[in-house]
Amino acid sequence: MIEPGMITRRTALATGLSLLPAAIGLAPATAAPVRRREGRFRLPGGRRIGYAEYGDPAGPLVFYFHGTPGSRIEAGMLEQEICTAGLRLVALERPGIGLSDYQPGRRILDWPADVASIADQLGYADSAFGVIGLSGGTPYALACVKCLPHRLTHVAIVSGHTPPGAGVEQGSADRLITLIERRPRLGRIGLNVADRQLSRNPERFADRVMRSWAPADQQLVNCNAGYRQTMIRTLEEATRCGTAGIQTDVTLLGRPWGYRLCDLPPAAVSIWHGSCDTIAPISMGRYFHRTIAGSELIIDAKAAHVTMMKWYAAEILARFSAAGAS
């Protein structure tokens, strides 16, 4: 069930058709781009998943899976590129994060069923869709390859974090993953303290978070007030329902994902990674490329974790535009 305010594909197409009489002799009418729509999807069992939607409601569907910690707000940094690409991008929040209900005992492999249900609700039951996984959203994007290969047009893994046991260089994110995995009670206390600090002084907390970032990422966010506010709002929404959702998200990232990358069925997968990434080092991107058969690897020698997504947004989204048109 789609809660009030959501546009289905049929509604979007009907809206576009209703404009045709007034547009005779002009360019073909299209549905107006959506700057951002927010709400919740209700799944068959009653659980709700939060979302933010950007772009053309009648365009090819692409799901965006945020990082860890992250939220639906994160995709706002790509708003202009999404509208230009003519895509319908729906950023989903995982259980317990942002507007999404907590799901006790959830697994990474539970996610594809939620995604398929939402795609059906949006009117894409008979149409394939794309998936973008940023950083901690990677295991969920690849879980869709595992479970829904026939429904995917393209999958983009951006600044992806590898599964445990990959034997790659550790990044700054791994300190939190290790703490929460080995000392869950201490990790919970640490997350609650961080949440209080964020609530008291968001700007100072943002500065603390970015200390471990590469210079390119720091410059991107600090030199654009809009990007900085998007980052702060992303973190605030990540703990909207408390810290249990984030703790579960981090825990699952650091445990076996429930599938092996080398066993994934054939799919169009592109891997985008910056050589200067301090959160998920470049060795992680190379690992994905080496392990996922037929994948494509795109490396930028000067990009880092966040900059890889922003600098290459237009090129990444173009993959989905081309796949949706074919």
**Domains of the chain (ranges plus CATH)?**
9-325 (3.40.50.1820)
* H-type alpha helices, 152-183: 173-182
> Which token pair is 97?
């994060």
Given a cut of 80, whether residue 10 has pLDDT beyond it is no
Task: Classify 24 as helix, strand or coil.
Answer: coil
Confidence of residue 9 (pLDDT cuts 50, 70, 90): very low
Mean pLDDT within 81-97? 97
- Range list of β-strands (E), the chain: 34-42, 48-55, 61-65, 88-92, 129-134, 152-158, 269-274, 296-300
Peptide bond just before 69 cis, omega within 30 deg: yes
Nearest to 321 by CA among 81, 151, 34: 81
**Phi, psi at residue 35, to the nearest 5°?**
-70, -50
Q: Which strands form 61-65's sheet, in the order they lie side by side?
A: 34-42, 48-55, 88-92, 61-65, 129-134, 152-158, 269-274, 296-300
Inter-axis angle of helices 202-210 and 215-222, to 10 degrees? 160
User: Residue 249: its pLDDT value, please?
Assistant: 96
Q: List beta partners, residue 38.
A: 52
Burial label for 19, CB within 10 Å (0-12, 13-18, 19+), is middle
User: Are 182 and 158 within 8 A, CB to CB?
Assistant: no
User: Residue 175: its pLDDT value, please?
Assistant: 87
Question: Each residue of 294-313: pLDDT tens digit?
Answer: 999 999 999 999 999 999 99
Residues whose CB falls within 8 Å of the CB of residue 67, separated by 6 or more in sequence, listed in order: 74, 134, 135, 136, 137, 159
User: Residue 25: its pLDDT value, please?
Assistant: 29
Confidence of residue 4 (pLDDT cuts 50, 70, 90): very low
DSSP 8-state code for residue 107: -
Nearest to 277 by CA among 267, 285, 269: 285
**Phi, psi at residue 75, to the nearest 5°?**
-70, -10
Given a cut of 70, whether residue 162 has pLDDT beyond it is yes
Mean of pLDDT over the chain? 89
Which pairing describes strands 296-300 and 269-274: parallel, antiparallel, or unpaired? parallel
Residues whose CB falls within 8 Å of the CB of residue 186, separated by 6 or more in sequence, listed in order: 179
Mean pLDDT within 46-56? 97
Question: Could you tell me the pTM of the whole model?
Answer: 0.88
Write the CA distances from 100 to 5, 57, 97, 260, 299, integer angstroms. 17, 22, 5, 27, 33
User: Residue 16: its pLDDT value, please?
Assistant: 34
Mean pLDDT within 278-301? 98
Question: Each residue of 100-155: pLDDT tens digit?
Answer: 999 999 999 999 999 999 999 999 998 999 999 999 999 999 999 999 999 999 99
> Which token pair is 105?
């005992």
Give the integer Cα–Cα distance in Å for 90 and 300. 26
Residues whose CB falls within 8 Å of the CB of residue 24, separated by 6 or more in sequence, listed in order: none
